[in-house]
Structure formats: structure tokens, C-alpha cells
Amino acid sequence: MTKSDHVTDSGIPIKALYDAEDIANLSQERLGDPGQFPYTRGVYKNMYRGKLWTMRQYAGFGTAKATNERFKFLLEAGQTGLSCAFDLPTQMGYDSDHPRAMGEVGKVGVAIDSLVDMRELLEGLPLDRVTTSMTINSTASILLLLYQLVAEEQGISSEKLGGTIQNDILKEYVARGTYIFPPKPSMRIITDIFEYCNRHMPSWNTISISGYHIREAGSTAVQEIAFTIANAIAYVDAAIAAGLDVDDFAPRLSFFWNSHNNLFEEVAKFRASRRIWANIMRNRFEAKDKKSELLRFHTQTGGSTLAAQQPEVNLIRVTVQALAAVLGGTQSLHTNGFDEALGLPTQKAAKLALRTQQVVGYESGVADTPDPLGGSYFVEALTDEVENLVLEYLAKIDEMGGAIEAIEAGYMQDEIEDAAYEYTKAIDNKEKIIVGVNEFIDETEGKNEVFPIDPALEREQVARVAQLKANRDNDEVKRQLNEVERVAREGGNLLYPMKEALRNYATLGEVSDTLRGVFGTYTPRG
């Protein structure tokens, strides 16, 4: 065996044997029962005994109509929550007819330009009974308001709407890149969303603070938790500085974790994250509401772990990762399609991914008791080790002045880059075996089916935008956009004028351009 066989993906050494001595310091105060502080064993007393996690498959491609059809297919197959991907122009605040959108419309998600598209996306869906997660950040406020407007048109009260917007801009600067504005105005928009939803959409999760993309960029499991929690602290600080009470918004914060193949480290990571957050909320921010202490999280299996070679093998990887998420106590789960290293998941792959969750949930027995690995010498010791390493990172980031300062200094980015390099080097040197990639290679492998993207979809979407702009009341749109600009310059909650502009068919790109004119755009270091 090579040296790397005996360390986790984060480089934590693994002993040959664990026993009671390794968890001698494990007190009830550090562990707690499920549903009790510090929630190491789970945020709810019974966890999955009463209700399984939300099975939420990611979907979004081409036009709103095509994605709506995929949503309905997945709901009929037993999915219990919707999850929507948006194309790059939508994420970056450009309409489909913008020159920068050319070639990207509908490619990695659905194109949403206006209220017309959102209506079609949600047509026939039970918005008062199904929760919807939207993976959107810079333009999260716009997509949230469009969702609310469609619900209002359907006669559904905003108080009944449940779901999540990702709305995590800091990790975009660190790992993903779909930012528009500089950090300060971006944080203003986020705190405006907190305030708006506290008043009008109390059941909506206002942010999904995301480690997923940090991990996809090459971080270790420890860095994923550390950098995400550092970002979360920055969001809480910003909201408090904006005059919000911590218990007015913290219960609606949620997290988004990745799940990779090292099953026991992943379980330990999930358990440690709950304990760390509970202590931060109680001791650092002095939250009084128990719900403010709960780290509730969605998990997605690791896209970067999927291989284009022998793609069916990804079914096994996804199963291991899903099992880790469930053993770690996730509140909702997305399982990747086996063909996602090749392109968007085909309908067959999407159904098999959902069936993976259903087999784990209904056939494996892991949902019969909360925290089934609790008390394991190995898992408890690993949970402590992950926690200690995360706390070291958080202390260093605090010394730098916080997450925003660490991001602007490039600290997180450099740490992730170094981790990604070491991981790639381990694969190249065969210190880490990836089945079908650097070992057990099948030279006879045939051609695989790939999800087709119809080029006509972009032309159709561009025509829809042109038709909208020709038929609406453009004078009224201009008045509403002027009001958005005024509030952006003078102060106040931006979501109110933005909602009226969108109601009158201002487009996502027009609202974003109005804000660009006031806030400017962010240029990364270097």
C-alpha cells in the first residue's frame, strides 16, 4: 500500500485501529442527542424515522418549456422537491439577446429573461405544495421576485412559498466566477433579501451558503467547511450591521455541501459542521432562538468526481456519496446523473439518479435510526479532527479581518489551488486510484449517448425577448427602472422597486444593467 492509502482526502492520517481511548474526551455536551445542542448527531430528534430527506433532482436546460417538462417527469417519478439550474447569461445578468450571451443560451441551465419565461417554467406546478431550490447568486433577487410574482398570479400567498435561493456571492469570488458587482453592493442586496423575506416570505430559505463549488474547484473536505462557514460568518455580520436582529434571519440560513467518495471523512465533515455552526451562533452571535443554531443543509454528490471513461461506474460513485450524505444527516439531496461528465443528464440518467436515492431511503435501513454511525471510534475521532482543523482555518481568517478580506487577499483561492494541485498530482502518480481513469482502463469502451442541445432553442429565445420588448409598455418600464436606480443610489430595500419593474416586464438584463450603472462590476485581483 502507498502512503496515500492511509490518509483522508484532506490529508488526515488514519490509524490502523481506533478504540475507546480515541474518544475518551467525547462528552455528552460535545455530542448531544439528535435534535439537541450542539447537534452533532442531527438537527432533529427523529431525523428520517418520520420523514425522509427531500429528494431534489437538479434540472434546467434550453427553454422554460423544456425544463418544465423535465420537472413534471421527475415529480411523476417520485421526486419530492424541485431544483433549477439557470444558464450562464441568466446567472451573469444578461438577456438572451445580449452579444455576450451568444452560444450560451440554454446550455448549462434554463434561460429566464422575464416574467413570461418564469410563468412558463412554473406552469402547472403545485408551488404551494412543492419546495423549489434555485441555483442562482448574482441575480438571485430577480429570480426570487419572478417566482413570487408567478405564485401571486396563481393565487398562492407568499407565506406559503417554500424553497431556497443559493444567493451566496462570496463563494463566487472564491471558486466559481458568476459575480457581477463588487462585494460591498453584493452584500447589500443579500441583506435586502434577508429583510424582504423575513417580512413577506417567512418560509423561504434566503441563502444557501455553498461549499459545493468550493469543493468542485479543488478544495479538501476541511477547506470546504472552513471557507463556507467563514463566508457564513460574514453574511451574519453584514446583516447585523444592516440593523437586523440575528434571530430574525438566522433560522432561514441554509448550507449546501458536496459529497465525495471518502465515505467516513464525508460523514465526519457533515457532523462536525453542525457542531461548529451551533457553537458559533450561540457563543459568537448570542442567538437566542434554537432554530438559529441549526445547520440545515442540502447535499449534492460530487460532480468533479465523475469520470467520462466508463460512465456507468459513476452510478457506484454516486451511491457511495449519497450514502455518506444520508449517514451524515442531510436535509435534502441531489444525486448526479451517471453521464454528467459527458453533458447534461439524459432522462434515463436522471431517473436512475433519483432511483438511487429511493433505494438508499427505502431499502437500505440507514433511515431507521438517527446518526447510525454515532459512537463509532473512527467516526467520532475523525469528526473531532475535522472540527479542529476547520477551527484553525477560521482563526486564521479572523486574524485577516474576515472572509471578505481573505478573499480580496486571495488567501482562500490560493489554498484551494494548492489542494487541487496535490489531488491531481496524486492521481497522476497513481497514489490515488480512480477506476477507469488511471487504473482498470477499458480500451474497448464504446461511444456513449449525450444529451442533445438544439441550436434552434437560442434563436427562439432571442425572438421571445424581442417580442416582449416590442409589446410591453416601454415608458412604464423606463419609469420603473429609474426607480430601481434611485433606490440603488439613495438607499432603501431594492427588492420593492425591482419587483414592480419585473411585474411590468422589465427583463433580467435590464434590471441588472441598471444596477451595474450604479454599483459597477467586480474585477478580480491579478
Percent of the chain exceeding pLDDT 90 equals 88
- What pLDDT, in 10s, does the model give residues 314-334? 999 999 999 999 999 999 999
Average pLDDT of the segment spanning 9-20? 96
Whether 469 shows a pLDDT value over 90: the answer reads: yes
Closest CA to 385 of 278, 260, 276: 276
- Give the CA dihedral 193, 195, 200, 201, nearest 10 degrees: 60
Give the Cα separation of 32 and 40 in Å (integer).
7
> Beta-strand (E) ranges in 239-353?
253-259, 297-301, 332-334
pLDDT at position 526, please?
A: 61
Give the Cα separation of 250 and 285 in Å (integer).
10
- What pLDDT, in 10s, does the model give residues 339-398? 999 987 888 999 999 999 999 999 999 999 999 999 999 999 999 999 999 999 999 999
Give the Cα separation of 359 and 362 in Å (integer).
5
Q: What are the distances in angstroms from CA 230 to CA 377, 395, 405, 408? A: 29, 10, 11, 14
pLDDT at position 93, please?
A: 98
Q: What is the DSSP letter of 281?
A: I
Give the Cα separation of 302 and 262 in Å (integer).
11
Give the Cα separation of 14 and 8 in Å (integer).
7
pTM value? Answer: 0.93
Residue whose entry in the numeric block shows the C-alpha cell 441583506: 191
Closest CA to 466 of 507, 512, 511: 507
Assign a CATH topology to domain 3-39+58-360+378-428: TIM Barrel (3.20.20)
pLDDT at position 1, please?
A: 34
Q: What cell numbers appear for 212 in the block?
A: 459545493
Q: What is the DSSP letter of 402?
A: S
Q: What cell numbers appear for 416 in the block?
A: 484551494
Mean pLDDT of the chain: 94
Phi, psi of 297 (to 5 degrees): -145, 150
pLDDT at position 339, please?
A: 94
Using DSSP's 3-state secondary structure scheme, residue 274 falls into: helix
Give the Cα separation of 263 and 255 in Å (integer).
19
Whether 121 shows a pLDDT value over 70: the answer reads: yes
Whether 211 shows a pLDDT value over 70: the answer reads: yes
